[in-house]
Amino acid sequence: MPDTSERLSLPYLMPAQAQKHVTHNEALQRLDLLVQLAVEGFEADTPPALPQAGEVHALGDAPIEAWAGHPGELAAWVGETWQFTAPQDGWVALDKSTGILHRWGAGAWAEVSAPDLANLPGLGVNTDHDSGNRLSVSSPASLFTHEGAGHQLKLNKASAADTASLLFQTDWSGRAEMGTAGQDDFAIKVSADGSSWTTALAFDAASGIASGAALTQGVDDATVGRLLRVGDFGIGADAGPLVTDLDAHDLSGSFSSYGGAHAQAPVGANPFPALNEVFGLLCGNSTLGGRSAYLWQIAVGIDTPGLAFRVRATGAWGAWQPLWSGANTTVDANGFIKEASPIVRLFRDGREEPAVPLGAGFERVGLGHYRLSNVPPLASRGWQIEAPQDANGNRLVHVACSYDAGTLDIRTREVIWQDGWAGGAPRDIPEGRWVDLRFDMD
């Protein structure tokens, strides 16, 4: 019978041996050092100056001093001396300084690598996996974080006709899905029962243009809760909804337009004088009394610049109320605000065009004599000419006009009394003052 064990070289108790406790304690001491082996470090060559009881070092190829002659062995400080043990294949030791396991094999220590998890049939974390769900996780949350920078979660499908999506379920019944299902367009779908699905939003893979039930479906779609597309209610469209009935109740909340190109003139009062003029229409409603109880409309003139509004209450539309602005009024030479169609301000050395230019030509023929070309006749109703006045309301010049084939001839003279105010000697328009000339609408 051998004196020591095959693997750990533990001493055996012999028959009739004296002081058996010495041999037994030596075996326990070796077990204490080698079982659950943990070393101070690997590839050590120089013994520490003050070793502590129980220290174990995995020696390198060229140990010196007290370790000399024991390359590759384990050196353990026991009592007052170093004991040496040659490791055997398969022994595992923990590096106490790094926490890394090492395994002895082929005459050297090597780090123990993580187990190879490639090509597993499945993995279940706190639950079972199956053929359809080869990775299953039962947990309050799952965390995927970066490794120093960003992080991507990738869903790859074989072809455009396949599906790559995220499915959200309630009690294992689908309620929402987002991804590329059956095509490469990205879509967000919802369901109330897991069987009937509605595409809320879809984005064309080529253009990125959006569609779906969450968007307005046409220029006159006023469904509450839908997102407004460019082009609906006139926003971003060439024309927007074409309004044929200004008094319609279903225009609330819309941006609309009316143009002279319509085959049918609009029903309801027109906010601008000429029925076929182009204007924009903004419609809205109050939250009081239901959708059609209190409505409002704002019209913006385009052919004739201007702004008008009206409201609907107690079942009837009120009259259009025009807002006075520089487009439909003028401040005459005497500081008064007056209603305006196209007005040209005539100065002694030039002319000032209205908000919508007439393109009038100007010529100073002589003293108190001016000529405007390429103009319509003076207004056929309302006032035509306003001359500058002094502080007492007396006219500073007498103005007389004649019109012929697009040309207006204007003469200004001194003001004299001849059984009424009349023109005397020619006189230019005073410096810094002007004559207002109001023309017919086109």
DSSP result, 307-367: EEEEEEETTEEPPPEEEP-TTTEEE-TTS-EEE-SSEEEEETTEEE--SS----EEEEEET
d(CA 364, CA 375): 16
Global pTM value:
0.49
24 Cβ contact list (under 8 Å, min separation 6): 13
Residue ranges of the domains in the chain? 36-111, 248-323, 329-438
Cα radius of gyration (the chain): 50
Strand ranges (E), 138-273: 163-170, 173-181, 186-191, 197-203, 210-211, 255-258
Specify the pLDDT at position 287.
Answer: 58
Check residue 400 and give left, alpha or beta (phi > 0: left; psi -120 to 50: alpha). beta
d(CA 268, CA 311): 13
Two structure tokens written together for 84: 């040496």
**Residue 384's closest CA among 352, 339, 350?**
339
Q: What is the mean pLDDT of each run of 10 residues along the chain (442 residues)?
A: 61 72 66 79 93 91 95 89 88 90 92 82 94 95 96 96 97 97 96 96 96 88 83 64 63 53 46 56 66 73 76 76 78 78 90 83 96 94 90 92 95 91 93 92 66
Specify the pLDDT at position 113.
Answer: 81
* CA–CA distances in Å: residue 317 to residues 72, 134, 270: 104, 68, 12
Residue showing tokens 């017919």: 440
Q: Cα 225 to chain center, whole Å?
A: 19
Q: Residue length, the chain?
A: 442
Specify the pLDDT at position 110.
Answer: 92
271 Cβ contact list (under 8 Å, min separation 6): 279, 299, 301, 306, 308, 310, 320, 322
Half-sphere exposure of residue 19: CA atoms within 13 angstroms, side-chain side: 4
Specify the pLDDT at position 1.
Answer: 55
d(CA 367, CA 429): 9
Quick one: DSSP state of residue 305?
T
Helix (H) or strand (E) holding 369: strand 369-373
Q: Please answer whether residues 360 and 372 qualify as being in contact, where contact means their C-beta atoms are separated by less than 8 angstroms.
A: yes
333 Cβ contact list (under 8 Å, min separation 6): 345, 386, 387, 388, 389, 433, 434, 435, 436
Specify the pLDDT at position 261.
Answer: 38
User: Residue 11, SS3?
Assistant: strand
d(CA 378, CA 103): 109
Two structure tokens written together for 131: 């053929």
Specify the pLDDT at position 274.
Answer: 47
Q: What is the DSSP string of 389-436?
A: B-TTS-BSSEEEEEEETTEEEEEEEEEEESSSEEEEEE-PPPTT--EE
**Residue 246's closest CA among 295, 286, 197?**
295
Q: Cα 422 to chain center, whole Å?
A: 71
385 Cβ contact list (under 8 Å, min separation 6): 378, 399, 401, 435, 436, 437, 438
Is the C-alpha dihedral spanning 135, 138, 141, 143 positive or negative?
Answer: negative
**One-letter amino acid of 173:** S
Two structure tokens written together for 271: 């906010």
Specify the pLDDT at position 18.
Answer: 76
* Cα-Cα end-to-end distance for the chain: 130
CB atoms within 10 A of CB 74: 21
Specify the pLDDT at position 151.
Answer: 96
Specify the pLDDT at position 271.
Answer: 64
